[in-house]
Structure 1
Amino acid sequence: MFLAWRELRHAKLRYFLIGLIMVLIVWLVLFVSGLANGLANDNGAAINSSKATYYVLQKDSDNRLTRSNLTETQADKVTDQVEKTEATNLGVQMGTITPPTKDKKTDITYFATDLDSFMKPDITEGNMAKAKDEVVADISLKESGYELNDQVKDSATGQKFTITGFTKDNTFSHSPVLFTNWDGWDLVHQTNKGAEGAYTAVALHISEKTADKLSLGNLELATSKEVLQGIPGYSEEQGSLLMMIAFLFVIAAFVLAAFFYVITIQKINQFGILKAVGARTAYLGRSIVSQVILLSIVSLLIGNALTFGLAAILPASMPFALSPLLAIGCSVLFLIVTVLGSLLSLYRVAKIDALEAIGRAN
């Protein structure tokens, strides 16, 4: 560590520039990771935040709520097999709303359920909807100018609803969710309860053991994770972003490996002299690794500070979510990548011949 620290102090500009590049890479990796996590949350927060562990869907719906339709009879056959508190019917329908006096349209998703069941949203502002013309909206709807007690009008049916409360982390397919009861569902849904397509699914809050005992007939059972993956565009969106993050780590490994290798090549003569006077390869290797770890830790601290500082000033409409756990995970992975990238330099140091290096120095 002594040799590593002396060299860092001696070549301040060189290592400052390398550190700056590492900070920028860390910043980019963390920002893209936060963006990927934010987009995932914005796409399926209503599924993630619910207590439902399983969903009963129409067969061949590919685990997509928007493709599933259940009759009242089918739903009753499922709910009769579990405890009353463990099952509730669910209606999901994409829609568009406008303020009563304006033409500005906002895409939303209706979630109809029993608002006293485990699927009810947690109210952060206002009160739970009770009447058929009342809804609880995700707080992201405020970004479109809606406030508590405002009226919204369904574009397809012209039905007006009053926002009685706001909830948090309840979005679906990048649109805010409006929770309504079944009387409100009848006002916007185009079929009657006894007809085909009365419900979208049956949400279940049960264990895996109970799920295995269900008799579903021509229906299918999907876990909440499978339903999340079934949201249109969810897997493709996350796959693209995760591939970007993976490539960023690979690029970081190659770039940093090249930088440290070039620096090592420039110091071959000095390493040869140190070997000639008795310095062991292990000591020189520890010096290089110490430099890499020290630069990485400083870069990670600065990069994390910049990322969380930027997140604090981002607009609420930006789907960005970087938890401390995710940041720590990315930081540890980055540290591992940089240390692995330094192995090329260690190999070069191990191959240095002291007499040959001294000869070149002369």
Structure 2
Amino acid sequence: MGFLDIDNVTKSYGSVQVLNSTQIEVEEGEFLVLVGPSGCGKSTLLNMIAGLEKVSDGEIRINGTRVNEVRPADRNIAMVFQSYALYPNMTVRGNISFGMEMHGVPKPEREAKIAEVAELLQITHLLDRKPGQLSGGQRQRVAMGRALTRYPDVFLFDEPLSNLDAKLRVDMRTEIKKLHQKLGTTIVYVTHDQIEALTLSTRIAVMFGGDVQQLGTPQEIYDNPANMFVAGFMGSPAMNLLPARLLRQDGVMCAGLKLADGSEVLLPFPRAEGLDRYAGREIVLGIRPEAMTDPEGADRDSPALAQVDLPVDVVEPAGSDTFVTVSLGGRDAIGRFRAHTQARAGHPARFAFDMAKAVAFDPKTEARLA
């Protein structure tokens, strides 16, 4: 049993079920991120934890207590919204203090708490301003400050960074991570941004179609995706998913991929446990761009490096990296090369495939085979 238990929870609106039986245990102090595309059920699940939506079936428990019928105000949670939800006619001090006033907290205690959270979030110099005088990042800090004036069992974040520009999102990600490390609070955080999910969380629940597709640590999700949806959704650029043929060559299991000229390249597949029965069958080979790089940039400690010369279609410099696109299995495949690569479009370039990091999927069920 976790500190927050989501026990076979479902949600239906009439005959339409938007969240299927969902089972997640969140330990105290954990940072769980619910990630997935729009309409996958993540915000619905968060709202049920908050008490803003009723549970159709199943049970939600916080610190061992069933809260299905408990009012949101009595659940001892704090929520930070995407829209900030600040009172425009109040100062920052007033916004942070409002909840404490409603709960009858004495003024000296309120002032001490305001000073504490303002210093923590570095907004002391903003206390006498109104929300209209603040930037988006400053407003989000105020919304977080209001939540921090309480001592909740669980903090809930509903896409809090989606209204910020790219640089502010990166800055606020760092601030939220620091805050969690300092306070050790239990957080459930909703986002559609997989970079946020990977950088912030201690565990991730990847959601799609009302189901949790995979629950695990960021490294587990990234290295061993449970299915093709998770593989394609998590990571930027996404994992290459390439039609291939599994075959045995000189006693070694290989993935055979067709090139644009009709020839086939064979890549040894060391993660072949349990794959013998699939020999001769079509698979989908999954390989991350960083496992498909120039030889000088490859992991020299890898037990399964395969080097192949391939004709280059597109070269995209990206500062610290260069993305090189080739055609494999009839699809575009992106490799992550070093910044100053000599690869040129229309010319062959040598690729080093780290096949120790490759995975295989069933093309029909889309589940991982190895």
Shorter-chain TM range is under 0.3
Greater share of helix residues, 1 or 2?
1
| TM-score after normalising by structure 2 | 0.23
Larger radius of gyration: 1
Instruction: Give the TM-score normalised by structure 1.
Output: 0.24
Q: Which has the higher strand share?
A: 2
